[in-house]
Structure 1
Amino acid sequence: MARTETAAPAGCPHFPFPRQDVLPEGRTAFPPGHDPLSLSPQYAGLPPVTRIVLPEGQEAHLVTGYAECLRVLREHDTFRRGHADGVHPYPTIGSTVLAMDGAEHRAVRNLVGNYFAPANVRGLRPRVEELASALVEEMLADQGPVELLARLAKPLTLGVIGHIMGVPDTDLPQFATWGDMFLATGPDRAEQNQLAMGGMVAYMGRRIEAVLAGPADHAVPPGLITAIAGNQVHSQVPMDQAVIFAASLVIAGWETTAAALGSFMFRLLTATGDDGSTLYRQLCAHPDRISTAVEELMRTIPNSMFDTTQPRRAVRDVELGGTVIRAGDLVLACIDYADRDPRKFDEPDRIDFQRSTAQAHLGFGAGPHVCLGAPLARLELGVALEHLTARAPGARLHEPPHEVRWNTSTTIRRPVELWLELAG
């Protein structure tokens, strides 16, 4: 598609804006009181659509208004992902489902049918409960501080997606390594991304081939890999796309949810409500608010290091938020700031566990690319918080909040480690 570039106005801001979870050079800790989960102050006062400049000089439209972001996410015939891959500094998503649009995208997602529909995910609750209960029990048995991500967040989410997919527990650590490589942001990110995808595709290719070889292969556990293999035979989806999709599901099924649980607990243990108690203590006192708490924390905690979804490109001229976007222009939907839009959310910076509109957040996206695993993520996060608040009401951070280190090696925001004292 031919590209057209409309000139950026003088003084056009450079994007991405500085992250609040990156330590200033020469420092080993943040200043006391610093909030690593806050958004850059450069967002303040921006109109719903702003012309920006990316690191390599490319110009784009940054969309920060809620209604405007919703249009970008939903109107896939106007704003297309497949036309905007390889934009620095965003990861290259290649031939994954993230880069697909239209009928091709629908066909690939249909490989899993309704497997991740809320009604089906509810059937997984006993498995999630069993695993979360065992992990929290092991944490409580320790006499000293415990690290949340290694002891609960990662094994819970990896264990559940492994169960769903039919990946043996012994193979899950390798997927954790591949996940970090696939989401890497360093100078060798392209090589890391490709190595990870190559490893995952080779693995999933072998698993799917084993399924298609016939029921005599008892080494293949039942699971979504088996369903994808069966559905691929009857679909128009090429085998290589089915294999890539199966591989990406494992990463999507654990990485972001594990990171979210780490960030959730940091926020709950460091932020206070109107009565002066921590948000965590409030949840302990009101467990019936946990489901809304998950939505509010998704709304207010930035998940991506860029604050935006993957870039899209307009395929036709369109007016958005009073701005004319030309065919060929890059568009970035900043869902993290859109979820703070006062036109949509009253007192948007306030975390309110009784907010009636909490579930309207864009943390899981919207439109054709809405997160396939959103019901599963909600279940896992809710169950984890239920077990922690019920069995460790005195939980607190082991170290001062400003000394917690934050991940900067991948696109996902999370603590590198989050050490907790569970006895209070």
Structure 2
Amino acid sequence: MTTAETRSFPFSEPQRLDPEPLFAALRAGEPLSRVRLPFGEPAWLATRYEDVKVVLSDPRFSRAAAAGRDEPRLRPHLAPSGSILSFDPPEHSRLRRLVTKAFTQRRVHELRPRAQQIADGLVEAMLAKGAPVDLVDEFALPLPVTVICELLGVPFEDRVDFRHWSDAFLSTTKYSVAEVVECVAKLREYMAGLIAQRRSAARDDLLSALVVARDEEDRLTEDEMLSLAEALLVAGHETTASQIPNFFYALFTHPDQLALLRSDLSLAPRAVEELMRFVPLGNGPGIPRYATEDVELGGVLVRRGEPVLPATVSANRDESVYPDADRLDIMRDQAASHLAFGHGPHHCLGAPLARMELQVALDTLLRRLPNLRMVDEGSVVWKHGLATRGPEHLPVTWDSV
């Protein structure tokens, strides 16, 4: 039964990787609740696994219907228009097809040796530098940044700039509105410059493929091409760059699971799925979908035109799907059903790439650095004011061989 109370969301300040305490109570007694985020109109918050899946996949819940609405959000500025996340099928499908080939299981399998080479090189540099080192700066950031730069055709030496712009892109309170607008404009100008280079001299990269789709095949508008390129650059490194230190922090603080993985590194793929389920990468609300007709959801009638927020981080802790859901268990059989990569039409197209990079990271670091561990809990510096959670700095050490 749902009360008439509209709660302010977030319900509490995120603490490390701890789940939001109120989610469990809402799943049990008020699976669809009224919330108001810091900005935008009130919304329904879906917290149960099955309800979240419906919101993410049922065509009666639309992203395109958000156009012109004051979307519920954590930050004062609305997301830039024209993003692939702004569309429903068939427009969304048209854009997605243009880049899907770059992220197929086959293509990612072909990329794996290069990702392994990059990871090994980073570990060699860590060994040469000597412990302790910051896992974020020395490994977690450069691994996915290098991979996505090579895939897209973006110069790696520009990583400091586009990392700064990416942070602004994901800012909730870290940057002012004026700073966000400036950084988004600089990111667009930067990508436009790279696209102009590809028009003069095409290369074997994804940016060149987008230019062909725009100029020769007329399958993209100029704005769509730029928005897609920006989204690929930001999303292509941000999730993995955040999740590598998140995963290791979770393992360091669950030594039984770390010991199990160390004893059998073939468990890395299973560990990645369970850690994706267990670790709350975002702050909780999800991207709103708008009901295009009256829909009954979680025992509540959602009226046409009302926004619903699919809380995947809550769904991934749903006790009806994951017994003892708050326990990290890399042997969990149900872990692969997690919603960390979304579900339905907007399921993350880069999921195969992220999975591969995360598997390589776990295997390489645990295989090559004996007894890898945190320096201490107090040395961890956590992100703040961003839509993603995780360590900004995670000092680690290891035993000499």
TM over 0.5: yes
Does the CA contact (< 8 Å) of 2:288 and 2:310 recur in 1?
yes
Q: Give the partner amino acid of 1:321.
A: G
CA displacement at 1:237 relative to structure 2: 2.0
1:375-390 matches, within 5 Å, as 375-390=352-367
1:78–1:87 distance in 2 versus 1, CA, 3 Å: closer
Q: Note the residue ranges of structure 2 that are not aligned, 5 or more in a row.
A: none
1:49-88 matches, within 5 Å, as 49-56=32-39, 58-80=41-63, 82-83=65-66, 86-88=71-73
Q: Give the partner amino acid of 2:387.
A: T
The one-character-per-residue Cα deviations of 1:222-276 (angstroms, maximum 9, x if unpaired) are: 3110111112231432111111111221110111210011111111111133xxx
Does the CA contact (< 8 Å) of 1:85 and 1:311 recur in 2?
no
1:189–1:317 distance in 2 versus 1, CA, 3 Å: farther
1:86-97 matches, within 5 Å, as 86-90=71-75, 92-95=78-81, 96-97=83-84
Does the CA contact (< 8 Å) of 2:151 and 2:206 recur in 1?
yes
1:407-418 matches, within 5 Å, as 407-418=383-394
* Alpha-carbon distance in 2 for matches of 1:187, 1:142: 31
Percentage of matched positions with identical amino acids: 35
> Alignment partner for residue 357 of structure 1, among 334, 351, 357?
334
Alignment correspondent of 1:295: 273
1:20-35 matches, within 5 Å, as 20-21=14-15
CA displacement at 1:9 relative to structure 2: 4.2
Alignment correspondent of 2:168: 181
Segment of structure 1 superposing worse, 386-395 or 138-147: 138-147
* Alpha-carbon distance in 2 for matches of 1:179, 1:289: 32
1:124–1:20 distance in 2 versus 1, CA, 3 Å: same
Alignment correspondent of 1:203: 190
1:86–1:94 distance in 2 versus 1, CA, 3 Å: farther
Does the CA contact (< 8 Å) of 2:41 and 2:70 recur in 1?
no
Give the alignment's TM-score, normalised by structure 2: 0.92
Does the CA contact (< 8 Å) of 1:313 and 1:331 recur in 2?
yes
* Alpha-carbon distance in 2 for matches of 1:130, 1:357: 32
1:421–1:113 distance in 2 versus 1, CA, 3 Å: closer
Matched, 1:242 2:225: yes
Q: Give the partner amino acid of 1:222.
A: D
> Alignment partner for residue 6 of structure 2, among 12, 17, 21?
12
> Alignment partner for residue 40 of structure 1, among 5, 12, 20?
20
Q: Which has the higher helix share?
A: 2
1:187–1:299 distance in 2 versus 1, CA, 3 Å: closer
The one-character-per-residue Cα deviations of 1:24-81 (angstroms, maximum 9, x if unpaired) are: xxxxxxxxxxxx2111212222132122233358321110110110010112442325
> Alignment partner for residue 271 of structure 1, among 254, 258, 261?
254
TM-align CA RMSD: 1.9
For 1:302, what is the secondary structure of its paired residue? coil
Matched, 1:421 2:397: yes
> Alignment partner for residue 178 of structure 2, among 191, 198, 201?
191
Does the CA contact (< 8 Å) of 1:81 and 1:311 recur in 2?
no
* Alpha-carbon distance in 1 for matches of 2:79, 2:360: 31
* Alpha-carbon distance in 1 for matches of 2:169, 2:4: 36
Does the CA contact (< 8 Å) of 2:55 and 2:310 recur in 1?
yes
1:59-138 matches, within 5 Å, as 59-80=42-63, 82-83=65-66, 86-90=71-75, 92-95=78-81, 96-138=83-125
Q: Note the residue ranges of structure 1 that are not aligned, 5 or more in a row.
A: 1-7, 22-35, 274-278
Segment of structure 1 superposing worse, 345-354 or 90-99: 90-99
Give the alignment's TM-score, normalised by structure 1: 0.87
Q: Give the partner amino acid of 1:39.
A: P
For 1:387, what is the secondary structure of its paired residue? helix
For 2:102, what is the secondary structure of its paired residue? coil
> Alignment partner for residue 286 of structure 2, among 309, 314, 322?
309
The one-character-per-residue Cα deviations of 1:331-382 (angstroms, maximum 9, x if unpaired) are: 1100001011122112211222122221100000011111111100001111
* Alpha-carbon distance in 1 for matches of 2:212, 2:70: 30
Does the CA contact (< 8 Å) of 1:225 and 1:246 recur in 2?
yes
For 1:102, what is the secondary structure of its paired residue? coil
Matched, 1:251 2:228: no
Equivalent residue pairs, number: 391
Does the CA contact (< 8 Å) of 1:394 and 1:422 recur in 2?
yes
Alignment correspondent of 1:283: 261
1:334-373 matches, within 5 Å, as 334-373=311-350
1:113–1:361 distance in 2 versus 1, CA, 3 Å: closer
Q: Give the partner amino acid of 1:89.
A: L
Q: Give the partner amino acid of 1:252.
A: A
CA displacement at 1:173 relative to structure 2: 2.2
Does the CA contact (< 8 Å) of 1:85 and 1:93 recur in 2?
no
CA displacement at 1:143 relative to structure 2: 2.8
The one-character-per-residue Cα deviations of 1:166-206 (angstroms, maximum 9, x if unpaired) are: 11222222211111111111275433332222222222222
